Amino acid sequence: MAQLDIRGLVARYNDTTVLDGIDLAIDRGEIVSLIGPSGSGKSTLLRVISGLLRPVKGTVSLAGETIDYGDRRSLRRARNRLAIVFQQYNLFGNMNVLRNVMVTPVTIKKRDRREVEAEARTLLEKVGLGDKLNAYPDELSGGQQQRVAIARALCLKPEILLLDEVTSALDPERVGEVLDTIKLLAAEHMTLLIVSHEMAFVRDVSHRVAFMAEGTIQELGTPEQIFDAPRIARTRTFVSRILGHRTAA
């Protein structure tokens, strides 16, 4: 059974159909990346999965349990099982690093503070920020903030982690440290759904890559298929344009 199973998903903003029938199944421990031009609906897909936008059609299931987005308890349960990190401003500006990581487990989930703190410290150590526990987000670089956001997501012990262009707001020299953190998760067989424009990284880390355009998945395959032998012209154009830019840069 798939860890995350998306079927026939349709979503609209007002009258514009932004997701037009998405089918995607991700297995436990699998890493799937979404690539595609800006505006193709990648962020919207992650927003729908995490319940920030109600789908108008289709279903999302977590390990066989279909999420009822209209039901608060079902949504709450789903959100306990998945976590999402956005492009920027994930962190609460009024809380220091440690509190950002601990606030949900302690304040919302009412877990034991000492236990959570020990886990939070371990996680922050792991993402290389063991010395920044008392820093506030505006005292950190963008890359450090994103690593805290990832640590915060992990502290919830999600079954699946959604990452939406987590490096695209960063200075180029900061991208590597965040990608390294994600690779760490990949090595631990975390289930990941990643939206990224870092093609070398996508190719390196993903088990499968989905190419999206105009609200649908146009092509889904192994990184080798998508990058070296795409079946449709549109994928080929997109990939060559993006890779061309990277080599030129």
Partner 1 sequence: MHYVLHYGQITPYIPYLLGGVLISLALSILSFAGGMVLGLVFAILRNEGGAAASRFVRGYVAFFTNTPQLVQIYVIYFGLPDFGILFTPFMAVLIGMTLNAAGYLTEILRAGLASVHAQELDAAETLNMSRLQTLRHVILPHLFRVTMPALTNQYILMMLGTSMAAIFGVEELTGRAFNINSTTFRSIEVFTTVAAIYVVVTFLATILLALFSRWAFRARVPVI
Ligand X SMILES: Nc1ncnc2c1ncn2[C@@H]1O[C@H](COP(=O)(O)OP(=O)(O)O)[C@@H](O)[C@H]1O
Return residues touching partner 1 (CB under 8 A): 47, 50-52, 76, 79-80, 83-84, 86-95, 103-104, 107-109, 136, 149, 156
- Position among 43, 146, 206, 235 found at the interface with Mg ion (CB under 5 A): 43
Distance in Å, CB of 45 to partner 1, minimum = 14
C-beta closer to ligand X: residue 39 or 244: 39
Query: Within 13 Å of residue 222, how many CA atoms lie on the same side as its CB?
Result: 4
137 belongs to the binding site for ligand X (CB under 6 A): no
d(CA 219, CA 168): 23
33 belongs to the binding site for ligand X (CB under 6 A): no
Residue 40 interacts with, from Mg ion, partner 1, ligand X, none (CB under 5-8 Å by kind): ligand X
Could you tell me whether strands 65-66 and 208-213 are parallel, antiparallel, or unpaired per DSSP bridges? unpaired
179 belongs to the binding site for ligand X (CB under 6 A): no
C-beta closer to ligand X: residue 43 or 100: 43
Contact status, residue 26 vs residue 191, Cβ threshold 8 Å: yes
d(CA 128, CA 144): 9
d(CA 143, CA 172): 10
- Position among 24, 26, 42, 193 found at the interface with ligand X (CB under 6 A): 42
Give every strand in the sheet of 16-26, ordered side by side.
16-26, 4-13, 57-62, 65-66
- Position among 3, 33, 44, 167 found at the interface with ligand X (CB under 6 A): 44
